[in-house]
């Protein structure tokens, strides 16, 4: 699942990290790929300061440039059992700089620079139930690799006109991109309303967006809350907070919104898995019948 938006500050990292942790809490195996050179997801997931405590070889950079099969070597375990991380720091900027360069990207040996992540994930995907990719606010080679490799996308959007306008531009770009990828199919696509203030203006914007995009918008939204900032100050998320740092009601409201959003997404995944399982069983039965009938 690529968590993506061209605009910064919309809640991509928070969405990806919180969903990864909630998956782990629910007993599922999740992996988060940090594809943003700022390394915020790395910091709040691992507690490591990206450009001080992680070297060049600790990121996915060499995997995408030289050997996709080495991706397992850059997976970090986190303090959440079942939630792993592939970290990022400024080193991953080399991917956007060198992958387009035919002299540096090893294209003759490794093939298309747009398919490197797809190649790498083949070696580890069976170890996880869900792999999340926290994309940077751009359409560089890393983001394009994420979009090509993913089975689904979550796009966080605060309900205000500036962020909505940016999203419209992004969908136009995605449409043109998918025209060039005729075999590309998304099993899952959802818009998540993030940083919802609950004001009349935000509610009006929400209503307008729901009229236009209907079922593609998650029923639940993530509220704008100071609890997120408080948890971030302690290098974590709300799921890392064992007790409120301020108002108990504010904490309860924040955790409830977070759980509602993440459980809606997780239940969506379970529905998809159920349909995939039914399809696989039906295909197996057809194959068996064909063999029996000669």
Q: 287 pLDDT exceeds 70? A: yes
CA–CA separation, 233 and 255 (whole Å):
17
pLDDT tens for each residue of 115-172? 999 999 999 999 999 999 999 998 899 999 999 999 999 999 999 999 999 999 998 8
CA–CA separation, 248 and 58 (whole Å):
39
pLDDT tens for each residue of 50-65? 999 999 999 999 999 9
Q: Answer whether 74's CB lies under 8 Å from 63's CB.
A: yes
CA–CA separation, 9 and 39 (whole Å):
14
pLDDT of residue 294: 66
pLDDT tens for each residue of 175-197? 888 888 888 889 999 999 999 99
CA–CA separation, 163 and 149 (whole Å):
25
CA–CA separation, 32 and 91 (whole Å):
17
Reported pTM: 0.93
Least Cα distance to 166 among 177, 157, 178 occurs for 157
CA–CA separation, 131 and 125 (whole Å):
8
Report the length, in residues, of the chain: 294
What secondary structure letter does DSSP report for 247? -
Neighbours of 14 (CB within 10 A): 24
For the segment 4-29, the average pLDDT, to the nearest whole number, is 95
For the segment 232-248, the average pLDDT, to the nearest whole number, is 81
pLDDT of residue 177: 87
Q: Answer whether 75's CB lies under 8 Å from 120's CB.
A: no
Q: What percent of the chain has pLDDT over 70?
A: 99
């Amino acid at each position: 699942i690529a968590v993506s938006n061209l605009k910064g500050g919309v809640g991509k990292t928070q969405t990806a990290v919180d969903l990864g942790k909630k998956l782990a809490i629910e007993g599922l195996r999740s992996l988060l790929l940090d594809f943003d050179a700022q390394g915020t997801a790395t910091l709040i997931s691992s507690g490591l300061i990206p450009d001080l405590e992680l070297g060049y070889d600790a990121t996915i950079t060499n995997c995408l440039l030289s050997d996709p099969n080495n991706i397992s070597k850059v997976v970090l375990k986190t303090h959440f059992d079942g939630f792993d991380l592939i970290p990022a720091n400024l080193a991953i900027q080399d991917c956007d700089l060198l992958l387009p360069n035919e002299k540096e990207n090893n294209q003759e040996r490794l093939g298309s620079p747009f398919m490197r992540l797809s190649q790498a994930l083949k070696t580890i995907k069976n170890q996880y139930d869900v792999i999340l990719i926290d994309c940077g606010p751009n359409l560089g080679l890393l983001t394009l690799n994420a979009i090509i490799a993913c089975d689904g996308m979550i796009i966080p959007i605060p309900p205000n006109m500036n962020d909505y306008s940016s999203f419209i531009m992004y969908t136009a770009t995605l449409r043109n991109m998918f025209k060039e990828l005729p075999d590309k199919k998304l099993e899952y696509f959802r818009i998540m309303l993030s940083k919802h203030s609950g004001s009349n203006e935000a509610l009006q914007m929400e209503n307008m967006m729901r009229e236009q995009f209907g079922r593609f918008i998650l029923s639940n939204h993530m509220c704008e809350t100071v609890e997120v900032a408080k948890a971030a100050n302690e290098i974590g998320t709300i799921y890392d907070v064992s007790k409120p740092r301020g108002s108990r009601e504010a904490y309860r409201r924040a955790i409830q919104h977070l759980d509602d959003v993440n459980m809606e997404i997780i239940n969506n995944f379970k529905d998809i898995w159920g349909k995939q399982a039914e399809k696989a069983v039906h295909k197996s039965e057809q194959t068996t019948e064909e063999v029996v009938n000669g």
